[in-house]
Amino acid sequence: MRLPLTGRPRPGQRPTGHLLDPVLDQLTPGSARHRLLRLRSRAWLILQAGLGAALAWWFAQVVLGHPLPFFAPVTAMVCLGLTYDDRVRRILELTLGVAIGVLVGDLFVHLFGSGVWQILAVSVVAMSLAVLLGAGTLLMMQAGIQGVIVTTLVAGQGEAFSRWLDAVAGGGVALLVAMLAPTASTTERPRERAIDVIGHLAVVLTDTAQALRNRDLSRARSALKRARELSKELDALRDATSEARAAARLAPLLTRSHREDVREVHQLLGPLDLVIRSVRVLVRRAEIAVDEHEFVPDTYIDLVTGLAAAVATVQEHLDARTPLEGAQEDLILLARDSTWSHSRAGLSAEVMRAQVRSTVVDMLVLSGMSPQQARRRVPTRRDELDPTGPDEPEADEPEVEGPGDVRA
């Protein structure tokens, strides 16, 4: 069988199949910035883990009088981890798991010494006890791991049964740090990320409108790339919101206003996800229209421009902490304009108009309307526009989905 011939790599190009390709691909300015941003977002949590380890060592050594309290800082760091989500439950579970493993290991070493069969017995007994106490997989594995560590580490004189107490002390310090560490910045981070996501969304729409108006394929493709990256930004926003909600529930030093701020951003996640999906389809059709030289009416391009402006207005209200309802008027006017179709508009143009309408519905929901209210503001015909209609459709009228309800 003849193998296909491959050409020589061009100057500056690495040969394909290089073992270091995955590593070298990560050494780019963009990936470096991304890693620095990740480090910045995790810096406070990393500092908490280090602080918890140091405090646990100090407490076990100075207060409890243990000369080498190895398990105190280890337990504290394992318990604190790098996330606020379910921290209290995780700390209690891990502390219990570590304490079980250390205690079982100490007992076996004291009674039977250390060796191959002792390691087998300690790991099995410790993990079995953890399961009997209702442990999850994480707790069970920690019990086994710590038991094995204790069995293989020779305890100093008088330390045979003090190591499990070190583990408990480390868990207690971790719980204290977890309750006192969350600050106002933790609950403010979701709003900051939401402002960034919505701002980037407005930029994508602005670039799309400019690409359509100037028939700029490069700009259209750049807008499509950024539109696809919005999903990753939304995932980061979800993670930040989840951690902030957990921190707000846990920390006694945070006020009700902090919790309310996090709750407000959390309510934006669902509608914002739908907005991003609709915009991604819109930008994709715009890229196709520019690439294939399809006719797109100026009025349709104006709809995209108007949508970008409306999204930017929502961002301004979110940044100023003013009610998002202030952006609804522009969205309702945009809904009125979107009811007009053009006789020469092709498939891509009509899909874009439909996606503008769909995005308007989702933006109205994001700004505080119910889905039923929002759909009534984006009717199928111009003369059906009802900016003051009731929240729910009449019982004898079937609910009609607008033509813009296209999802990616």
Both 311 and 189 in one domain: the answer is yes
Residue 314 has a pLDDT of 95
Select from 180, 396, 196, 203 the least CA-distant residue to 305.
203
Residue 31 has a pLDDT of 67
Domain membership of residue 167 (yes or no) is yes
Both 309 and 164 in one domain: the answer is no
Domain membership of residue 361 (yes or no) is yes
Distance of CA 51 to the CA centre of its chain: 26
Both 202 and 332 in one domain: the answer is yes
Distance of CA 184 to the CA centre of its chain: 19
Both 301 and 341 in one domain: the answer is yes
Both 257 and 175 in one domain: the answer is no
Both 256 and 282 in one domain: the answer is yes
- Structure token pair of residue 385: 């526009």
Domain membership of residue 356 (yes or no) is yes
What's the total number of domains in the chain? Answer: 2
Listed in sequence order, the DSSP H helices in 12-136 are 21-26, 29-58, 71-80, 87-112, 116-132
Residue 291 has a pLDDT of 93
Find the CATH number of the domain harbouring 368: 1.20.58
Domain membership of residue 335 (yes or no) is yes
Residues 369, 373: Cα–Cα separation, whole Å: 6
Q: Which domain holds residue 361?
A: 184-384
Domain membership of residue 350 (yes or no) is yes
Residues 236, 241: Cα–Cα separation, whole Å: 9
Contact 118, 151 (CB under 8 A): yes
Both 189 and 294 in one domain: the answer is yes
Residue 403 has a pLDDT of 39
Both 217 and 160 in one domain: the answer is no
- Tell me the torsion sign for CA atoms 311, 317, 323, 326: negative
Domain membership of residue 29 (yes or no) is no
**Residues near 237 by Cβ (< 8 Å), separated by ≥ 6?**
190, 193, 194, 197, 265, 269, 272
Residue 207 has a pLDDT of 96
Both 170 and 189 in one domain: the answer is no
Instruction: Extract the residue ranges of the chain whose pLDDT is less than 50.
Output: 1-7, 9-14, 16-17, 23-24, 383-408
Domain membership of residue 392 (yes or no) is no
Domain membership of residue 407 (yes or no) is no
Residue 186 has a pLDDT of 73
Residue 175 has a pLDDT of 84
Both 99 and 189 in one domain: the answer is no
Both 165 and 196 in one domain: the answer is no
Both 208 and 268 in one domain: the answer is yes
145-179 burial, b at 16+ Cβ within 10 Å, e below that, comes to bbbbbbbeeebeeebeebbbbbbbbbbbbbbbbbb
